[in-house]
Each structure stands twice: as C-alpha cells, then as structure tokens.
Structure 1
Amino acid sequence: MLLLPATLTVAEARDTLRMLRQGLRAQEGETLVVDAGALQRFDSSALAVLIECHRLARAWGKRFEVRHLPPKLRELAGLYGVAALVPDGAAAPGVQSGAA
C-alpha cells in the first residue's frame, strides 16, 4: 500500500505522481492500493494524480483502490463525475468497492 502525503496540491502533484508511479510498479498482487488517510490539504490535482494511478493500474492489468479518501475529496470526485475512477476500499478489508 502506498501513502499519499498530507498535502497534495498542484505544487506537489508532479513529485507525488513520480513517487506513486515507482511504488505502484513495485506493488505485488492484483490490486494497486493507495492510502489517502494522511491527506489533509488538497485541490483538484489530487484527483488528477489518483486518476493517473487508476490508468496505470488498468494498463498493468490490475484493479485500483483508494483507502481512507477524505469526504471532501470524494465529494469533489462526484462533482467532477470521476468518482468511479477512485474506488474507495475503506468499506471493509478485502472488499473491492466499485467493482462491476
């Protein structure tokens, strides 16, 4: 599981994505997991980073899951119509949210 930083705005997006990309490559298993529990300050760039992680996971034939997504970021994803691209896995361990 990879951890998002406490702050993820446009200023941190490029470096955060680089770090996540390297970590996602090293993650084993069928699901790539990112933990957003530490995320306190963010803007829409955080969604862009998570959507790119989702894209990478799909390209590598894996599922993507975000745990502990802050409610405000979940609302923002819904407002932008991209909530399905940042599936929240916090409902229960081992349960894939948003799976069809």
Structure 2
Amino acid sequence: MSGLKLPARLRTDGARAAWVQMSPALRAEAAQVLAAAGREVRLSAAELKDFDSSALSLLLSAARQCSEQGATLKLDGAPEKLRELARVYGVAELLWPPSHAAQA
C-alpha cells in the first residue's frame, strides 16, 4: 500500500528538510492504514546508501509519529550499516522490535 521511502542520502545537512517533507506523508499514510483496519505503516529504506546518525533520529521521529496515531512503523530493506549504527546507538529495538526483527 505504501509508497513511502527514504532518500538515497540522509545526512545531518538534509535531515531537517527530509523530515519536513516526510512527516505529512507519513501522517497521511498512517491515517490510510488505520482506516483500512491495518496497523503497520511501511517505509522503504532500500535506496538509502549515504547516511549518518541523523537518519536514526529521523526514523525514531517517524516511529514516534506513527505510534502517536496508533500505528507501527515497519522499516523495509534497511541496509546492514543502518542496523549496525542503530545497535551502536542502542536504538535497534526501537526501530526493529524483537517481534519484527526476524522478519525484517
């Protein structure tokens, strides 16, 4: 259902602009998912190649926004480097809850 995806580059210098663009789309997607009796808002990270820790901040904000609306963020196609960065920062379980970790 979702066409939401992260850009190929997500670094500190562009993270704020990316969030300003993504936040309304994410909110609308969550409303659509919930209206269709769904629970997961899917966000593709498959194109993400060049990123830093600001990508984690954006993803945590996205997860929080979904949660506030009663939905769950499901991150698809995350690069292993992003998963490792999340582990280093201690936020991996917030982005990939244990129930989803085996599926992601």
TM-score scaled by length of structure 1? 0.84
Name the count of aligned residue pairs.
91
Q: Which residue is equivalent to 1:13?
A: 15
Which residues of structure 2 form unaligned runs of 5+? 34-38
Larger helix percent: 2
1:87 Cα offset (Å): 2.0
- The structure 1 residue matched to 2:100, chosen from 69, 78, 97, is 97
Alpha-carbon distance between aligned partners in 2 of 1:35 and 1:85, rounded to the nearest angstrom = 17
Runs of 4+ in 1 over 2 A off after TM superposition: none
> What fraction of aligned residue pairs are identical, expressed as a percent?
36
Deviations 1:19-39 (A, max 9, x none): 211111111212121100000
* Bigger radius of gyration among the two: 2
TM-score (norm 2): 0.81
Instruction: Report the RMSD for the aligned CA atoms in angstroms.
Output: 1.4
Which structure ranks higher in relative contact order (CA pairs < 8 Å, sequence separation ≥ 6)? 2
In 1, the alpha carbon distance for the partners of 2:94 and 2:78 equals 12
